[in-house]
Amino acid sequence: MPRILTPLKERIVRLLHLRSKLGTVRGDEQAKVELNRQRPEDLAETIAHMEPEDAAALLQAMDPVQAGNIMVELPTDSAREIVSELPDEVLASYLDVLPMDDAIELREELGEERFNALLEVIPDEDAAEIRRLLSYPEDSVGRLMTEHFFWAKPEMSIKEILSDLRRAGDEKYEQVNDIYVVDDAKHLIGVTSLRRVLRVPQGTLVSEIMQPDPVSVHAEVDEETAARTMARYGFYALPVVNAKGVLVGIFTGDDAQTILREAETEDVLAVGAVSGDAEPYYSLTPFSLYKRRFPWLVALFAAETLTGMVLRHYGQSEDSAVQVPMIMYFMPLILGAGGNSGSQVTTTITRAIALDEVKTIDWKGVMAKEFVVACLIGLSLGLLGYLRALLWNSGMELSLVVGLALPAVVIWATLIGSVLPIGAKRLGIDPAVMSAPFISTFVDATGLIIYFEIARRILIS
C-alpha cells in the first residue's frame, strides 16, 4: 500500500538506482557499505514492501550476517517470496553464520525439503547442531535455545575463567552475563555472574561464589512458559536441561522478549476477534487481513441471527401489542456486523500503534488498506445477509436492502475504526481507552441511518 517514504527507504531506493547504473560489482559494494550501517529490524520493515527480486538483490549485496538477520526478522509471507529468488549457496551462507535458533526459523520459509538439502552443504558441526535442536518438539524451548553458553567446573579458578573469556572469539558464547557451573557429567549444579567473578580475587574457586540449585527449565517445556519463567525472575538467560539434568543450552532474553510480545499481541487481537500469528501490520496484505477477520465475523454473524430470530418470532405473533415490523428483524445483524468490524480494526490499529508499527502520518495508507479489506468483508457478509433474508421469506426488495446495507455499514465502520485510534493518538489520548467503546456507540447510531436510508430508497420507490 502507498506509504510516505522514510529516509531509510529513500536511501534504499537510491541504492537500487545506483546498483542498476554502476553494475552489480560497484553497486553491490556501495550497497554493502550503506546497508550494513542499518539495524536489521529497520531494514526488514522496509524490505518487506519491496518486490521480491529487488529485495533478493539487496540481500545478496550485504554481508551474510546482516542479510541473515534481516531474513529472520521478515514476516513469513515476505520471506517466502524472497527466498524463492535467492540461490542455494546464498541461503547456505545465512544458515552458516546465523545463531542456530535463528537458522531454524528459516525452515518455515524455505520448506522442509530445501532446508534439509541446505543442511548437507553447510559445515557438519553446524548441521548437527541444527538437527539436535529440531529433535525437540515444535514450540518447545529446546528449539530456541543456544548451545553456545559459558560453563565452568566448580574447581576452576577465577583466573582460568577470565583467561578463557579473553581468548574466546565473538561467536563462541551467545552471552556471558551468567556462568553456569556443571559437574563432570555436565549436570547443572550452580550459577554465578560475570559481575561477581570480576569482584573477587583471581585465586578464588568457582565453587566458592556459585549459587547452588539454579532455576532451570526442561528442554521440552513450552517456549511461552519458559519466557514467563525468565520474566518472573528477571534473568538475562535461562539454563535448559534434559530429563537427566544435563545442561544442554540456554534460553536468551531476546528470544524470550520476542515470544512474550507475540503471545501478548495474539491475545489482544483474539479479544478483538482477530485470529492469526503476530505479524507486523504493514507486512499483511488486505487478503491476509480478510482471512484473519472474516471467520470471526461469520461466527458473530450467526450469533446475531439468533437475536433476529427472537424479533421475527414476536413479529409474527398474533398479539398486536408486541408485533415487530419485518424491517426490524435485520437490525441486530447489520449493526452487529458493523460494530464487530469496527472493533476488529480498532484493536488491530491500536496494537500496531503501541508497537510503533503505525504512526499518525500513516493514516492515508491505513485507510486505503482497510478500505480494500472492508470491501472484501462487506461483500461477503452482504451475500450471506441477502441469502438469510431470502430464507426468512422477506421478499426480494427487503433482501436487497439487507444485502446492500451490510457492506455499506461494514465499510463505514471499518474506515471510522481505522482512523479513530490514529486520531486519538494525534490528540494525545490513549487509543486503547477511547477507540473500542466509541466505535460501538458511533456505529450503532450511524449504521441505523445507513440502513434506513437504503431501505427508504428501495422499499418506497
What are the pLDDT digits (tens) for 305-352?
777 677 766 666 565 555 567 788 888 888 888 888 888 888 888 888
Judge if 278 and 310 occupy the same domain: yes
- Tell me: the pLDDT tens digits for 381-415? 999 989 988 888 778 888 899 899 999 999 999 99
Please give the pLDDT value at position 409: 92
Supply the CATH number for residue 179's domain.
3.10.580.10
Closest among 120, 299, 327, 142 to 218, alpha carbons compared: 142
- As a whole number, mean pLDDT of residues 194-201 equals 89
Lowest-confidence segment of 115-119, 365-369, 430-434 by average pLDDT: 430-434
Please give the pLDDT value at position 83: 83
Strand-pair partners of 43: none
Q: Are 145 and 103 in contact (CB under 8 A)?
A: no
Judge if 107 and 18 occupy the same domain: yes
- As a whole number, mean pLDDT of residues 427-438 equals 71
Range of the domain at 224: 151-252
Across 253-352, where does the E strand assignment appear? none
Please give the pLDDT value at position 5: 39
The answer to whether residue 264 is domain-embedded is: no
**Global pTM?**
0.64
Domain boundary among 135, 159, 183: 135
Supply the CATH number for residue 65's domain.
1.25.60
Please give the pLDDT value at position 242: 92
Please give the pLDDT value at position 3: 39
Please give the pLDDT value at position 440: 74
The answer to whether residue 183 is domain-embedded is: yes
Q: Are 439 and 446 in contact (CB under 8 A)?
A: no
Average pLDDT, rounded, for the chain = 80
Asked if the model's pLDDT at residue 27 lies above 60, the reply is no
Q: Are 292 and 273 in contact (CB under 8 A)?
A: no
Domain count, the chain: 3
Judge if 32 and 75 occupy the same domain: yes
Judge if 49 and 124 occupy the same domain: yes
Judge if 109 and 247 occupy the same domain: no
Supply the CATH number for residue 395's domain.
1.10.357.20
Please give the pLDDT value at position 346: 86
Lowest-confidence segment of 89-93, 220-224, 433-437, 440-444 by average pLDDT: 433-437
Q: What is the CA radius of gyration of the chain?
A: 28
**C-alpha 150: how far from its chain's center?**
31
How far apart are the C-alpha atoms of 103 and 92, rounded to whole Å? 10
Please give the pLDDT value at position 53: 84
Judge if 247 and 276 occupy the same domain: no
- As a whole number, mean pLDDT of residues 155-180 equals 83
222 DSSP 8-state letter: B
- As a whole number, mean pLDDT of residues 152-166 equals 89
Domain boundary among 222, 252, 282: 252
Please give the pLDDT value at position 101: 74
**Grid cell listed for 27:** 553497486
Judge if 220 and 284 occupy the same domain: no
Judge if 96 and 169 occupy the same domain: no
Please give the pLDDT value at position 437: 66
Please give the pLDDT value at position 240: 94
The answer to whether residue 173 is domain-embedded is: yes
- Which of 16-25, 168-177, 277-286, 338-347 shows the highest mean pLDDT? 338-347
Query: Does 356 or 156 have the greater pLDDT score?
Result: 156
Whole-angstrom CA distances from 223 to 175, 220, 302, 355, 445 are 19, 8, 35, 22, 45
CA torsion sign for 64, 65, 66, 68 is positive
- As a whole number, mean pLDDT of residues 158-171 equals 82
Share of the chain above pLDDT 90, in %: 18
Q: Which strands make up the sheet holding 237-241, listed edge to edge?
A: 217-218, 237-241, 247-252
- What's the one-letter identity of residue 419? V
Query: Does 407 or 361 have the greater pLDDT score?
Result: 407
Please give the pLDDT value at position 424: 83
